[in-house]
Structure 1
Amino acid sequence: MKSINALIRKTSIRFDVGAVASSTSVLLGLATFLLASCTEKSSFVQPKLGTRSAQLIEVDGFQFKDLNKNGTLDKYEDWRLTPEERSLDLLAKMSVEEKAGFMAINSLSMLGSRKAKISEGKYQASDLDEGQVKDDRPAGAGNFIGAMNEVTSTTQRIKEFHNRHFILRLNESAGVIAEWNNKLQELCESEPLGILAIITSNPRNHISSNASVGTALNASVFTAWPGELGLSATRDLALIREFASDSRQEWLAAGIRKGYMYMADLSTEPRWSRVDGTFGENPEWVAQVIKEIVIGFQGTKLDTNSIALTMKHFPGGGSGKGGQDSHFDWGKEQVYPGGRFYDNLLPFQAAIDAGTSAIMPYYSLPKGTEFEEVGYSYNKAVITGVLREKMGFSGIINTDTGPITRMVWGVEDLSIHERYKKALEAGSNIISGVSDPADLLEVINKGMVDMSLIDNSVLLLLKEKFTLGLFENPYVDVAAAEATVGSDRFREKAAVALRKSIVMLRNENSTLPVKAGTKIYVETLQSPGRGEEEGSTNFMMEADGNHEVEFVTTLAEADLAIQWIIPSNSVFNSDGAPISVSLSKKGIDVGHIKEVIGTVPTILVIDYTNPWVIDEIYNDTNKGNVVGVFATFGTTPEALLDVITGKFNPAGKMPFSTPVSDEAVENNLEDVPGYLEADGYALFNYDEGLSYKK
């Protein structure tokens, strides 16, 4: 918007050159021009500005933040301009050091509640952690996450490394996260250019028995919805959109503005440890789900109310050879024995069409395809050729965490500088798992890459921040965060989803729902080290509200037993040995379950984070005494009891097929969904699910 004097000057010149006109015509023309200018001005709405150290300046009756403290309005400070214009202006002001630091993202710790507690009041959990401790155990020995942490302070990473992208992996309260965000942004604002930070997180709105730091967080203060497979099992796209929109509001309130989520991968390989983060095995259905997820979190276009998403793991990580995961050398090969590489792209195309802000390639290298056998972050034919050129993606390409120094599949013989060069030339824009930009700076200063690659990457990253409104106000209201996150209105909607996600697979002789007055013996059986102690009945007794059944503590008293089996398959427990998805191989006491089944009619409830093989406990010998089988995908005892007793009619459908035996698993084709495997493959089929009401 030009000043009034400038507008008059422009108008005078225009009318001088326009030759013959009466003074009245000139005045009318001037009045019309000024009226149009006022109308133009009125189309702008003053945004709320949040500041801690930057002064406000006034221009044309509007306020702006003087982020670089020079007393004048720079283009990048002018919220009336487009994100592209602002990004170009700020890019021109950034040093090479700032650009390099801007292209790094890594985990950043707040102090954390445990440290705060032992400090006896000296620190708060939301304090910026100035003394992060490195875990010295070697990476790859069950310690992938410890290996990610560098001994650096928050201040050093902001001031010296010029980092402005951070991953939050702690599961603290909403108020603590909000306070921490505000302190982090205040530190960034005090820097010369006042470039604000963006906080990224893995999913934190799901109940999961398989959550691991580095992949997902089990829901705590954030509203607890079913796991991703459970959302898929509801077969309710409107509910899935509602989940995403509600979760967006919680993240926005807490100051987390970006998600390392969701997984558009397909669960075609039952042994893969990350199946629970997918939405199932059917590419067409998963594509529909992904569309709802993107629009729910981001809106129809990215704006100041969006949570920007980083869809992963391109071009699909679900077909690792033998089900191994590419966090490790023994799982680096992505194979396509069924020739279905391009099926994996359908959900990613849906994400692109819906406007996803970023996409994350996986560590894997393609085996037996037309593509170079290097990790996807280095794979130009896949990243530029397929993702950019064929699929039309124009957003940010964010590597997974650690491909430069740890998961260096296919480029082991290259130096770190050569790896940077190859990743950047392949199309990667931001490198995850590093904080210190020294190596990237050397690559730039030696002229190993064209500077346009750096500038184009920084422009993409800046544009996202401007579009999200972070430069205007990155601060959040702590009290509002506490009131919003986990509020009753969100939990009520999630409660419906938790019940709709439960799948009834068998109901022998219409035994279910359980009749009033039934005496029930309940046990949970979990993989070692995962949650509640085995054998506990308290969880169901406490959930009992008004279900008119009686819980007993011994089998001898029971009319019916419920065995809720909760195995897990954590990615970071891998040692390279062949993977089995049989229950006994996951530490479940199958002998005890068989004893219960042999003693009293039994309902089996299986929590599926993977397509488990359950023939050890459900076979021709004992099927007669198993009166019902249910599948859960992260739900609550209350929800399960409502379904078992008929207070809620089961409606869920299986998001994948489950193999009938270990032999079927070993013979499966890693890239082929279970519903397309050979006859006899499945015990429970994709899309299978019963209800009480016909």
Structure 2
Amino acid sequence: MYPLPLLALFSVLFLTCSGTRPDDRRHEQPTLGYRSASLLEVDGLRFKDLNGNDSLEPYEDWRLSPEARSRDLTGRMQMEEKAGFMLISTTRLENDPGFGPPTGRPITSGFNEEDQVSEVNIFTRKPLDYPMMSAAGTTRAVTEYHERHFILRANTSPRILAEWANNLQALCESHGHGIPAIVASNPRNHITVDASVGLSLGKTPFSTWPGELGLAATRDTTLVREFADIARQEWLATGIRKGYMYMADLATEPRWQRVEGTFGEDAQLAADMIRQIVLGFQGTQLGPQSIALTTKHFPGGGAVEGGQDPHFDWGKREVFTGGMFENNLIPFRAAIDAGTSAIMPYYSYPVNTEYPEVAYAYNKPVLQGVLRERLGFDGIINSDTGPIDMMPWGVEDRTIPERYKMAIEAGVNLFSGTADPTLLIRTLRMYPALQPLVDDSVYRLLLEKFRLGLFENPYVDPEGAAALVGREDFQARADVAMRKSIVLLRNGVSEEEKVLPLRPAQKIYFATYLSRRDDDPITTYLPDVHPYGVRFVDTPEEADRIVLWVIPRGKSLFEADGSPLHLNLSANGVEVDRLRQLIGTKPTVLLVNYTNPWAIDELYTPGPGNIPAVLATFGTTPEAVMDVLTGRFTPVGKMPFSTPASDAAAQQQVSDLPGYQEAKGYALFWFNEGMDGY
């Protein structure tokens, strides 16, 4: 038995003297999952000997509180272990390319043992001052760097995910104190147009729901809670125990390229959604059946200048011209009240506020004064990926150790982006006064793991994962959400001119228009089964009605170059002239998929014309669309944001004002607009 560090001895004494030692009440034996650890039997109960010293230490004793166990284990960890523990980085499966090109080989449940080192900023492609290890080989990350927090970006089968997660936990169990890993992921359950690293994975084997804007459009908080609970079950089965989600940011700047991941422009609507999301994933308190959430991006990142994102130098300013900083906090209050485990500050810095113009990860008055003290958040502050190495806005002139010091003092507990703790270790040696803050961070991070039950059983059943993920009854509920998310905006200018619902035996030409990046951007929807009553035809000339579903797709976030952002359709991949010709042939029902508040005046203007009906979608299926158009499902959705009457209007709006507070005439469709039924 090796000697305990001094702090650990103090912890043991504290546990004994403070009444937090195990009492004489009966305890229910939890299920213990283990691979290499031996078991200890004490008072007829079994415990895992995680550090292999044949003695039951307080952190191994599941009868103690998570707080007591976290204090004990914090005292046992060396400085190098604590530094690694404060990093969360991308991890990869065998043949998983990470940020690199595809390997051409199938992803398996083995480890990727190759380090992935960047000489350039992976987002801006500019040279880095210091090479950054964005991903370490798995074994090295665990055994040499002492990492236990990982971001999984791979999209593969539930069985492989579960097998890999078990392999990772077995490796962690066999090393050092036997601290289990926590695996985080971006959203995996939504239809999304801009599926990018760090945003959303897009189509996966998990149950498929409308996008976040679509969930908000349903206005159904009960269904949103059900979504989160279903996704929780799927994630839990695969061993993913943390969500890097959801966005509590407000979509007040319509040009922002991350609007798709928000719940819209209204603070109370976003708060209602976030509250149910957190409760559905985590439960009323964090436990062994929970998925811990990291709510982002504090204090709200939607008011960025010109819509440009702060992943880039040209988007680092968040401008509160309208004085709406406090409005941005409302959804975060809801997340904190619901118990969100972690909160992520964004890269941007505030302009026109009382706060310093430094990125939020360095902004002590915002993180301590607002988040900790005023809002009462007591969980983990998790930086976004790369504020130290890649997006150090406002502190560019400081060295890497100085940046780490400033961020730790501001309140960051977990740093995302690099797998190499070398410079963080150097920082802690240069500034020993940081040690109490480091210990506080480690304590908070351990507390989350203890509450999640990972120390007792981090293992999952791969066969069970394969059977549960994407289950038919899960998808059936998702299909309801798809339909409820569709918004009916216009249906003729009078009762006599209504064209919806479509009538039986009408001949319909259903065209889906994608971005012109595709080889043939117009595709025709002809289902194998025709349950809708209408007749689908091959050409517009044969049709009584055209159903045109336009899916604009602007420049992806990580393709940004700083040039002005526009919301008119022709600037976002839509060949407007071609669609005008199609619309001119027959009366047209127009659907627009809104990932941003597109300005559609190039195709549609209010009043009599060849487009008598307009609907909004936010990530759904053709089947859901047809159910709504034919009246098999009554439309109930409401707009989660206002859409500008023109791109010119979008260029003139105030970045932190919701659309419904903009000047009269700003919008074509207003927030909360939507017809109930026909």
Task: Classify the TM-score, shorter chain.
Answer: over 0.9
The counterpart of 1:510, out of the listed 498, 514, 517, is 498
Equivalent position SS for 2:466: helix
Equivalent position SS for 1:626: coil
Count how many residue pairs are aligned between Structure 1 and Structure 2. 649
**Structure 1 residue 501 displacement after superposition:** 0.3
User: 1:252-331 to 2 correspondence within 5 Å?
Assistant: 252-331=236-315
CA spacing shift, 1:370–1:38, aligned 2, 3 Å: closer
When normalised by structure 1's length, the TM-score is 0.90
1:573 aligns to 2:556 (yes or no): no
Output the CA distance in 1 between the equivalents of 2:618 and 2:588. Answer: 20
Identity %: 54
Output the CA distance in 2 between the equivalents of 1:149 and 1:522. Answer: 49
CA spacing shift, 1:113–1:369, aligned 2, 3 Å: closer
Output the CA distance in 2 between the equivalents of 1:599 and 1:394. Answer: 61
**Structure 1 residue 518 displacement after superposition:** 1.4
Maintained 8 Å contact 1:320/1:335: yes
Maintained 8 Å contact 1:298/1:307: yes
The counterpart of 1:607, out of the listed 588, 593, 609, is 593
Partner of 1:4: none
User: 1:621-640 to 2 correspondence within 5 Å?
Assistant: 624-640=609-625
- Amino acid corresponding to residue 550 of structure 1 in structure 2: R
1:189 aligns to 2:173 (yes or no): yes
Which portions of structure 1, spanning 4 or more consecutive aligned residues, are displaced by more than 6 angstroms? 117-120, 142-145
The counterpart of 2:113, out of the listed 130, 133, 136, is 130
Partner of 1:13: none
Maintained 8 Å contact 1:143/1:572: no
When normalised by structure 2's length, the TM-score is 0.92
The counterpart of 2:152, out of the listed 156, 168, 172, is 168
Maintained 8 Å contact 1:544/1:638: no
Output the CA distance in 2 between the equivalents of 1:503 and 1:616. Answer: 20
CA spacing shift, 1:534–1:257, aligned 2, 3 Å: same
CA spacing shift, 1:385–1:580, aligned 2, 3 Å: same
- Amino acid corresponding to residue 294 of structure 1 in structure 2: V
Maintained 8 Å contact 1:232/1:279: yes
- Amino acid corresponding to residue 232 of structure 2 in structure 1: R
The counterpart of 1:556, out of the listed 520, 537, 541, is 541
Indicate the structure (1 or 2) with the bigger Cα radius of gyration.
1
1:691 aligns to 2:676 (yes or no): yes
Output the CA distance in 2 between the equivalents of 1:106 and 1:496. Answer: 36
**Structure 1 residue 567 displacement after superposition:** 1.4
1:47 aligns to 2:30 (yes or no): yes
Maintained 8 Å contact 1:424/1:453: yes
User: 1:106-121 to 2 correspondence within 5 Å?
Assistant: 106-112=89-95
**Structure 1 residue 613 displacement after superposition:** 0.5
Maintained 8 Å contact 2:87/2:416: yes
**Structure 1 residue 124 displacement after superposition:** 6.0
Equivalent position SS for 1:605: strand
Residue by residue, what CA displacement relative to the aligned partner does 1:141-160 show, whole Å, maximum 9, x if unpaired? 47999x97646311111111
**Structure 1 residue 619 displacement after superposition:** 2.4
Across the aligned residues of Structure 1 and Structure 2, the Cα RMSD in angstroms comes to 2.2
**Structure 1 residue 296 displacement after superposition:** 0.6
**Structure 1 residue 211 displacement after superposition:** 1.7
Equivalent position SS for 1:629: strand
**Structure 1 residue 140 displacement after superposition:** 4.0
Output the CA distance in 2 between the equivalents of 1:386 and 1:303. Answer: 27
- Amino acid corresponding to residue 494 of structure 1 in structure 2: A
**Structure 1 residue 597 displacement after superposition:** 1.0
**Structure 1 residue 131 displacement after superposition:** 2.2
Maintained 8 Å contact 2:121/2:390: no
**Structure 1 residue 425 displacement after superposition:** 0.3
- Amino acid corresponding to residue 358 of structure 2 in structure 1: V
**Structure 1 residue 459 displacement after superposition:** 0.1
1:617 aligns to 2:592 (yes or no): no
The counterpart of 2:69, out of the listed 60, 80, 86, is 86
User: 1:365-380 to 2 correspondence within 5 Å?
Assistant: 365-380=349-364
Partner of 1:642: 627
Unpaired runs of 5+ residues, structure 2, are 1-20
The counterpart of 1:522, out of the listed 510, 513, 519, is 510
Moved more, 426-435 or 567-576: 567-576
Maintained 8 Å contact 1:107/1:148: no
Equivalent position SS for 2:382: strand
Output the CA distance in 2 between the equivalents of 1:650 and 1:642. Answer: 9
Partner of 2:479: 495
The counterpart of 2:59, out of the listed 59, 72, 76, is 76
Equivalent position SS for 2:526: helix
User: 1:126-275 to 2 correspondence within 5 Å?
Assistant: 126-131=109-114, 139-141=122-124, 150=134, 152-275=136-259
Residue by residue, what CA displacement relative to the aligned partner does 1:381-415 show, whole Å, maximum 9, x if unpaired? 00001000111001000000000011110000000
**Structure 1 residue 219 displacement after superposition:** 3.3
CA spacing shift, 1:578–1:449, aligned 2, 3 Å: farther
Maintained 8 Å contact 2:22/2:63: no
Output the CA distance in 1 between the equivalents of 2:274 and 2:368. Answer: 22
Equivalent position SS for 1:214: coil
Partner of 1:10: none
**Structure 1 residue 534 displacement after superposition:** 1.7
Partner of 1:65: 48
Output the CA distance in 2 between the equivalents of 1:424 and 1:305. Answer: 31
- Amino acid corresponding to residue 299 of structure 1 in structure 2: G
Structure ranking higher in helix proportion: 1
Maintained 8 Å contact 1:142/1:573: no
**Structure 1 residue 564 displacement after superposition:** 1.0
Unpaired runs of 5+ residues, structure 1, are 1-36
Output the CA distance in 1 between the equivalents of 2:395 and 2:317. Answer: 13
Equivalent position SS for 1:239: helix
The counterpart of 1:546, out of the listed 515, 527, 531, is 531
Equivalent position SS for 2:195: coil
Residue by residue, what CA displacement relative to the aligned partner does 1:533-578 show, whole Å, maximum 9, x if unpaired? 52111xx312654112222221211111121111123211110011
Output the CA distance in 2 between the equivalents of 1:555 and 1:268. Answer: 38
- Amino acid corresponding to residue 75 of structure 1 in structure 2: P
Moved more, 286-295 or 378-387: 286-295
Partner of 1:349: 333
Output the CA distance in 1 between the equivalents of 2:455 and 2:418. Answer: 24
Maintained 8 Å contact 2:219/2:638: yes
- Amino acid corresponding to residue 349 of structure 1 in structure 2: R
Maintained 8 Å contact 1:204/1:219: yes
- Amino acid corresponding to residue 99 of structure 1 in structure 2: K
Output the CA distance in 2 between the equivalents of 1:536 and 1:143. Answer: 39
Maintained 8 Å contact 2:255/2:566: yes
Output the CA distance in 1 between the equivalents of 2:609 and 2:189. Answer: 38
CA spacing shift, 1:234–1:149, aligned 2, 3 Å: farther
- Amino acid corresponding to residue 218 of structure 1 in structure 2: G
Moved more, 133-142 or 489-498: 133-142
Equivalent position SS for 1:482: helix
User: 1:12-23 to 2 correspondence within 5 Å?
Assistant: none
- Amino acid corresponding to residue 432 of structure 1 in structure 2: S
